[in-house]
């Protein structure tokens, strides 16, 4: 068994103009993002070397910048964008991204609306010692 470790960023806040309705694009709103990066931290810990992990402060800034860039219709698209930003880091093997839209235009009372995706790279899973099937799943 080759378990992966995690770095988690919870509640990152960004102001952006995503949505299908005209007022969402005009006025913008707050989006909240949670990111869990799955990676191997044993080498970084043994060497006490930041270069062997992901700098979570820089990652937080990159995630917020990705959310705040180029308006799109769907929070699903925003989540994909964030996942690609995270997976651009060499140490990242798998990432789970949740994008919350707490002020979504819904006509009934609600606490939150969110989309969660999980993405990874099969070659990174193999490099981390995981067996994967022909579909690229661990």
Which residue of the set 18, 89, 100, 101 is catalytic?
101
Determine whether 101 is an active site residue: yes
Which of 35, 125, 49, 50 is CA-nearest to residue 85?
35
Active site residues: 101
């Amino acid at each position: 068994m080759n378990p992966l470790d995690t770095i988690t960023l919870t509640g990152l806040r960004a102001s952006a103009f995503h949505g299908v309705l005209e007022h969402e694009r005009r006025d913008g709103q707050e989006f909240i993002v949670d990111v869990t990066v799955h990676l191997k931290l044993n080498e970084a810990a043994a060497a006490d070397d930041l270069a062997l992990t992901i700098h979570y402060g820089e990652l937080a800034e990159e995630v917020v910048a990705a959310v705040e860039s180029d308006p799109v219709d769907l929070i699903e698209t925003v989540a994909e964008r964030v996942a690609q930003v995270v997976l651009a880091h060499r140490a990242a093997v798998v990432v789970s991204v949740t994008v919350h839209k707490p002020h979504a235009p819904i006509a009934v009372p609600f606490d939150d609306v969110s989309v969660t995706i999980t993405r990874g790279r099969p070659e990174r899973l193999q490099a981390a010692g995981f067996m994967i099937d022909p579909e690229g799943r661990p």
